[in-house]
Structure 1
Amino acid sequence: MRTTVELLWIEGRIERWIRFGHIVQETIKSRSRRTVGFDPGAVFAFVRWTASDYGTVESRIDILRAVIRGEAYATVPCVAPGGESLLHISGWPKVEAVLAVIDRIEALGIAPEDVCPDHWRHVHHRLTAGLTPRPYTKARHAAWLKRREIET
């Protein structure tokens, strides 16, 4: 069972895009619409932005883990069936803060989809509380990789 995400890009009006994640399937429906798929267990970031004549109506980022058949999941618009929510942030200033966290992780040479899921939860909680998240480090990542190795 793959998790699919409906993407749309209408310049200046609606933008739904993937910030990171390993896409394993893509179906182009038109110049502005496509569907992408993720294997079970894959982590990805889905950004949604919508504007009207009067400015931004919606800006959100969700970092989700694609679920395995039978697992519980959260429903998210445009994501079928849904995913395990690691982070859900609304409001452009906080969305920008998450994008900056992702940029800093990539600057370390770490793929954001390989980051410890607990870190994304930490970022969610800190930003929701109006606090600055602690940075992800190479040492933390090495510890996560060892933990993951032991758990499997």
Structure 2
Amino acid sequence: MTGAAAPRVRGGPPPSALTHDRMTHVELTWIEKKIEYWIRFGREAAEQIIDRRQRVVSFRPNTVFAFVRWAANDFGTIISRIDIVRAVEPGEAYQTLPFVRPGGEILLKIEGWPKVEDVLRHVDAIEAIGIDADAVSPEHWRHVHNRMAAGHQPRAYTLDQHRAFLLRGKVRP
């Protein structure tokens, strides 16, 4: 799966066996009202369908994506979480994250459904002004994480901030 995007594949080796490539692999599960793991944003480079409930999506290095995990049992929600992650280059340091192989740079980590909903609304607001959420400055996602961890509302991401971020990228070698 190196180079160009790999075609969709049914079955095949488990994601942990796919360590020979440069991609970051995310294991997704969807069992309605029990386990719902999904990608909110991010440009997938490949998808591997395991069965009707499981698939693995892959991201190229430096791709930013949002991974949402929600699970419940007979008594209610047991996990509700969103992680915004940057896929890393081979050999680059990374943080481990369940269902993400090998791991990534975690830009935002939020737990609890009310806070997860706030992050999802924040993503919607960014997309409403015409910016793809995966193109947002990584510093902004860190800002959102830090503000929410401190119990404060994050500042909105603006077109001016985005233009400045894009211009900084052109200046750096």
Pairwise same-fold verdict (TM > 0.5): yes
Shift of 1:69: 1.0
Matched, 1:90 2:111: yes
Distance 1:91 1:73 in 2: 24
Correspondence for 2:121: 100
Matched, 1:78 2:99: yes
The count of residues paired between Structure 1 and Structure 2 equals 152
Matched, 1:120 2:141: yes
- Identity in percent: 57
Correspondence for 2:23: 2
The aligned amino acid for 1:6 is E
SS in 1 for 2:88: coil
Matched, 1:45 2:66: yes
SS in 2 for 1:62: strand
Correspondence for 1:65 among 65, 86, 89: 86
SS in 2 for 1:59: strand
Correspondence for 1:14 among 8, 29, 35: 35
Correspondence for 2:152: 131
Distance 2:59 2:150 in 1: 31
Q: Runs of 5+ in structure 2 lacking a partner?
A: 1-21
Q: Deviations over 1:80-120 (max 9, x none)?
A: 00000100000001100100000000001000000000000
Shift of 1:70: 1.2
- What TM-score do the two structures reach when normalised by structure 1? 0.99
Distance 1:130 1:14 in 2: 28
SS in 1 for 2:91: coil
Distance 2:123 2:170 in 1: 24
SS in 2 for 1:36: strand
SS in 2 for 1:37: strand
Indicate the structure (1 or 2) with the bigger Cα radius of gyration: 2
Cα RMSD after superposing both structures: 0.5
Moved over 6 A (4+): none
Q: Deviations over 1:1-22 (max 9, x none)?
A: 1000000000000000000000
Distance 1:151 1:56 in 2: 44
The aligned amino acid for 1:7 is L
Q: Deviations over 1:33-76 (max 9, x none)?
A: 00000000000000000101000000000000000011111100
The aligned amino acid for 2:141 is W
